[in-house]
Chain A
Amino acid sequence: MDLKQLYQDIILEHGKSPRNFGKCEGYNHDAKGYNPLCGDKVHVYLKLNSGKKVESLTFEGEGCAISLASASIMTELVKGKSFDETRDIMNAFLNMIKNTSEIRSNHLDEDQKTKLMSLSGVKQFPMRVKCATLSWHTLVSAMKGKKEEINTEVID
């Protein structure tokens, strides 16, 4: 296991100064996520435009460097995407963390893939996978307009 791969500079930097933190103006979707193992919480706020694309995306919450960085990077990558595109990116992300260590998605450019790949170190730390995935599950839940809180002990 390699700590340097887990705590890459980009992760530490996003963890320290998360982007798009707070409530975005005029949000029309939101959802909460909770990890009962550590008490981490995330609240995702989302404005979908008339074309059902992500116009703005922000989050609030408390968590470790991994979960904050993951949420922060997510808000940067998903902007402008449709629901299906977002879900595709999330699946590519989950697949990277759990299985392949690489990103397979047609909806991200190379720079964006590199950014997401900075979280690939999590794969070596199975106890931390849920830290990285909580915000993504919460985002998809918000897009679906689901009411109940996402709970990492109930989802995959």
Chain B
Amino acid sequence: MNIENIKSQFPIFSKKINGKPLVYLDSSNSSQKPMCVINKLNDFYKNEFSNIGRSIHSLAVNATNKFEETRESIKNFINANFKEEIVFTKNATEAINLVATTFGQQNIKEGDEIIITELEHHSNYVPWHFLRETRGAIIKFAPINEDGDVIIDELKKLITLKTKIIAVTHLSNVTGTIVPIKEIVEIAHKKNVPVLVDGCQAVPHIKVDVTDLDCDFYAFSAHKVYGPTGVGILYAKKKWLEKLPPYIGGGAMISEVKKDKIIYAKLPEKYEAGTMPTAEVITFNESIKFMESIGIDNLMKHEKEIKNYALEKLNKINSVKIIGNPKNKAGVIAFTIKGIHPHDIATILDEDGVAIRAGHHCCQIFHEKMNLTATARASIGVYNNKDDIDMLCKAIENCRKIFDLK
């Protein structure tokens, strides 16, 4: 597949935004969808729709098989050992909540410690905060440095006999920092501490191999990986899924129900109560095929080239400041312009068809640490090219003109 022409597979790019061609630089928030994904969703509802699971009619059997095929594809895509280690949730946030709640019930008591980092998205902080509120857990923040890298030695020092779990992002949605997960897992496992990884930003943009990382839990969402909304994925080592209690109760997660006892279903159904986003899960298989058809190495190479081009161009614009300079940076670029608030930047860029995000990006801890209230963020997806970056820079020049910056 020619990566230069990939934009043509995304129908949204034939639309005009405010009369201008769309320059979409908000993929960290959510990605646009290729035609194969849109077609599959439509096709499934049109020709194949059925719920999955118990029914034995042909449509149900077909849907169940397709649903499980996606699970198998995800297993292979992230190199898990068993299909049962892949659990579907509503989104990555729910996947993290699932772990925090069930792990917390079983393992967290008053005074126990949870380590997260100053880079975390609120979705990898608030679920742990619930355990602080309900069980008296203590949350410790592994600090980051000026560049936006987690200071591993400091993280190491935070681990005590009371540390029960470490929860850390794989790739920052503000600085683009690629966190050395393998190193953190090694450190944690030496002290018998399990690790949960928030992989939302990593799976769409870098190679993820959960067996190599050896993490205990890995959460991500389909919609950032060129897939449909409504699907989160939790990878968890089998030993944890067997040991932890179920999260949501209801149909499909049981094997036997009596008046005096309930036996839960085997894995992974134990964690998949009620009707799942059937069509979306089945559709997500197309997103994985799409990623595989490009090849993750090609995709990484392409996005790196666009990121480097963007950094080079942005750094040349007076008064633009890139936030963070991590050792290993993906295509997530937070920036500020001296004299223009990020919300004004986003509004003005939008008029030129350039979609970025402004605000704290659900990372208030990070912004507070960096003494910022908000930043503007341009984030790169597989469909972006150098023309998009040129348009971004042109639109920024327009901002500077409106605000009369020298």
Contacts and interface: CB of A to CB of B under 8 A. Distances in A.
A3 interface: yes
A3 B348 contact: yes
A131 interface: yes
A125 B347 contact: yes
A20 B340 CA distance: 20
A66 B344 CA distance: 8
A39 interface: yes
Given A3-B348, A64-B343, A65-B344, A39 B402 contact: no
A91 to B, nearest CB: 25
A65 B339 CA distance: 9
Contacts, number: 51
A63 interface: yes
Contact of A38 (B343, B402, B404): B343
B341 A7 contact: no
What is the size category of the interface that chain A forms with chain B? 20 to 34
A76 B374 CA distance: 27
16 contacts: A1-B18, A3-B347, A7-B402, A16-B403, A37-B359, A38-B358, A38-B360, A39-B364, A39-B373, A39-B374, A40-B373, A63-B341, A64-B343, A66-B343, A128-B343, A128-B347
B367 interface: yes
Contacts of B344: 7, 64-66
B347 A6 contact: yes
B342 interface: yes
Nearest to B364: A39
Interface in A126-151: 127-128, 131
B351 interface: yes
Interface of A: 1, 3, 6-7, 12, 16, 37-41, 62-66, 125, 127-128, 131
Q: Looking at chain A's contact residues, is the secondary structure mostly helix, strand, loop, or mixed?
A: mixed
Interface of B: 18, 339-344, 347-348, 351, 358-360, 364, 367, 373-374, 402-404
Contacts of A1: 18, 351
A131 B351 contact: no
A16 B343 CA distance: 15
B351 A3 contact: yes
Nearest to A62: B373
Contact of B342 (A3, A6, A38, A125): A38
Contacts of B340: 65
A57 B399 CA distance: 31
Question: Which among A1, A62, A65 has the greatest number of chain B C-beta atoms within 10 A?
Answer: A65
A6 B374 CA distance: 21
Contacts of B360: 38-39
A38 B359 contact: yes
B359 A64 contact: no
Given A63-B341, A64-B341, A12 B403 contact: yes
Contacts of A39: 359-360, 364, 367, 373-374
Given A38-B374, A64-B343, 14 more contacts: A1-B18, A3-B348, A6-B347, A12-B402, A12-B403, A38-B342, A38-B343, A38-B358, A38-B359, A39-B373, A40-B374, A63-B341, A64-B344, A65-B403
A66 to B, nearest CB: 7
A7 B350 CA distance: 14
B337 to A, nearest CB: 12
Contacts of A128: 343, 347
Contact of B373 (A7, A12, A41, A125): A41
A79 to B, nearest CB: 26
Contacts of A63: 341
Nearest to B404: A12
Contacts of A64: 341-344
B310 to A, nearest CB: 23
Nearest to B368: A39
* Top-9 shortest CB links A-B: A64-B341, A39-B373, A64-B343, A38-B359, A39-B360, A64-B344, A39-B374, A62-B373, A65-B344
A65 B359 contact: no
Contacts of A7: 344, 348, 402-403
A65 B341 contact: yes
A119 to B, nearest CB: 14
A39 B373 CA distance: 5
